[in-house]
Amino acid sequence: MKDYKMETKCVQGGYTPGNGEPRQVPIVQSTTFKYATSEDMGKLFDLEASGYFYSRLQNPTCDTVAAKICEMEGGTAAMLTSSGQAASFFSVFNVAGCGDHVVASSAIYGGTYNLFAVTMKRMGVDFTFVSPECSEEELNAAFRPNTKAVFGETIANPALIVLDIEKFAKAAHSHGVPLIIDNTFATPVNCRPFEWGADIVTHSTTKYMDGHGAAVGGCIVDSGNFDWMKYKEKFPGLCTPDDSYHGVTYAEKFGKEGAYITKATVQLMRDFGSTPSPYSAFLLNLGLESLHVRMKRHCENAQAVAEFLEKHPKIEWVNYAGLPSSKYYQTAKKYMPNGTCGVISFGVKGGRANAEKMMKNLKIAAIETHVADARTCCLHPASTTHRQMNDEELVAAGVSPDLVRYSCGIENAEDLIADLEQALAQI
């Protein structure tokens, strides 16, 4: 599959059935796997042989779907997780533990921010958050001797800031640490962060990859490019023997290509158990089969809606990287020449009250906390997810009281525009 184009990988990647085998990816709904001898199974426990023994660690359906995403991103190894949150957590915790430090872009998903700034901090991992628009000097100044990784988001949810991936990769590599990129909003169809120097990619597959609001899930992909052994002293977890696996040294035994995902699977998945169900992986695969077709339509619809809103007299501002007026237009053109995503944010004149009123009048777009779905949905953070904040606190958090997040689905763009038009006419 390696040499095929994205569209072919979306449809056929990860799975090549043999003669007389199922055409569709089989759902292996089994917690466990049978062996003839204890010796056979023992080899799996020692990581001397590869195979399945318990679905908390690995399952054939999940691995098949992970292999497809791995091909789409251009990586060397990948694993599915039960959610995007689990993927974000594992991706960092696999290389940074108590006493370590991580540099992260401040423009990241709220759930990730909380995971890093509150929960992982409680576990002893310190984070420094830097503006994605900081200078190289400011970025370099955020590193410490105990820094183990850099984390950012291709297109931040919900701020929609487009990351300068090369700038972050350069800083990470000059300090001998990997760059981890959450590529949820762009998907590999629109951006492949490995091509710009990222080392690890994560996804909330709950969003566009699933695309139908059917299954929560996550994925981690390794580019296979980061040379852990070169920075041995920084990454003892990968470069020194693991007593819980009879002294295996991941970076030696599995090389650059396999060490990171093997360690995350056999240590983190074993101990934390954030396993996706085979059935959820199957649903995710159905979504992936049409991802390339849907992303194109999401972007076309978002472009049309953003252009309509920008000209509307009742709209104060529109944030969409596909608009030439956007601060991120040039960055998006570089990293995502075929389009960014289907999510737009905008401000309604008259602030909070009018934003709420307009949304109440929408007939196609449903009010949901979800984004990146085949069905158009929208959210008014000030009166929902961020309702505990007053207007001043909202502005400080980058969420103005009038902000509406509007996630364009794959319906007809003229219908979406007419829906917005009638809703705006009523305020």
Ligand X SMILES: *Cc1c(COP(=O)(O)O)cnc(C)c1O
CB atoms within 10 A of CB 247: 10
CA distance 317 to 402: 10
Of 112, 109, 171, the closest CA to residue 371 belongs to 109
**Cβ at position 244, least distance to ligand X in Å:** 27
| Runs of H (alpha helix) within 25-78 | 38-45, 60-73
Pick one of 60, 84, 193, 276: the residue that binds ligand X (CB under 6 A): 84
Structure tokens at 173: 């590599």
> Please, what is the minimum distance in Å from the beta carbon of residue 219 to ligand X?
10
Q: How far is the CB of 211 from ligand X (least distance, A)?
A: 13
User: Nearest 5°: CA angle at 135, between 134 and 137?
Assistant: 120
Nearest residue to ligand X, by Cβ distance, number only: 84
- By CB under 6 A, tell whether 276 contacts ligand X: no
Closer CB to ligand X, residue 64 or residue 157?
A: 157
Helix or strand (DSSP H, E) at 317? strand 315-319
- Given the rule CB under 6 A, which of 17-25, 82-90, 143-151, 264-272 is the region that contacts ligand X? 82-90
| Nearest Cα to Cα of residue 201 among 185, 178, 187, 222 | 222
Site string for ligand X, 133-162 (x = CB under 6 A): --------------------x---x-----
Give me the residue label for tokens 């904040």: 389
Q: Which of 104, 80, 120, 112 is nearest to 220 (CA)?
A: 80
Site for ligand X in 329-388 (CB under 6 A): none
Given the DSSP bridges, would you call strands 101-105 and 126-130 parallel, antiparallel or unpaired?
Answer: parallel
- Binding to ligand X, residues 91-120 (CB under 6 A): 109, 111-112
> DSSP 3-state assignment of 344?
strand
Closest separation between CB of residue 399 and ligand X, Å? Answer: 15
- For position 182 contacting ligand X by CB under 6 A, the verdict is yes
Complex with ligand X: residue 212 or 312, whichever CB lies closer: 212
The smaller minimum CB distance to ligand X, of residues 147 and 206, is found at 206
Size of site (CB under 6 A) for ligand X: 17
Q: Which is nearer to ligand X, 209 or 239 (CB)?
A: 209
* Smaller CB separation from ligand X, 59 or 157: 157
Q: Binding of ligand X at residue 405 (CB under 6 A)?
A: no
Q: What is the biggest distance separating any 2 CA atoms in the chain, rounded to whole angstroms?
A: 74
Task: Please name which of 300, 6, 334, 320 lies closest in space to residue 163, comparing C-alpha atoms.
Answer: 334
Out of 85, 190, 265, 277, name the contact with ligand X by CB under 6 A.
85
| CA dist., res. 315 & res. 361, Å (int) | 16
Secondary structure element (H or E) that encloses residue 320, with its range: none
Query: In the range 244-263, which residues lie near ligand X by CB under 6 A?
Result: none
Report cis status (omega within 30 of 0) of the bond before 381: no
Nearer of residues 269 and 358 to ligand X, judged by Cβ:
269
Q: Which of residues 196-255 bind ligand X (CB under 6 A)?
A: 204, 206-207, 216, 218
Q: Quick one: 78 or 259, whose CB is closer to ligand X?
A: 78
Q: What is the bridge-based pairing of β-strands 101-105 and 147-153? A: parallel
In whole angstroms, how close is the CB of 218 to ligand X at the nearest point? 6
Which residues contact ligand X by CB under 6 A?
Answer: 83-85, 88, 109, 111-112, 153, 157, 182, 184-185, 204, 206-207, 216, 218
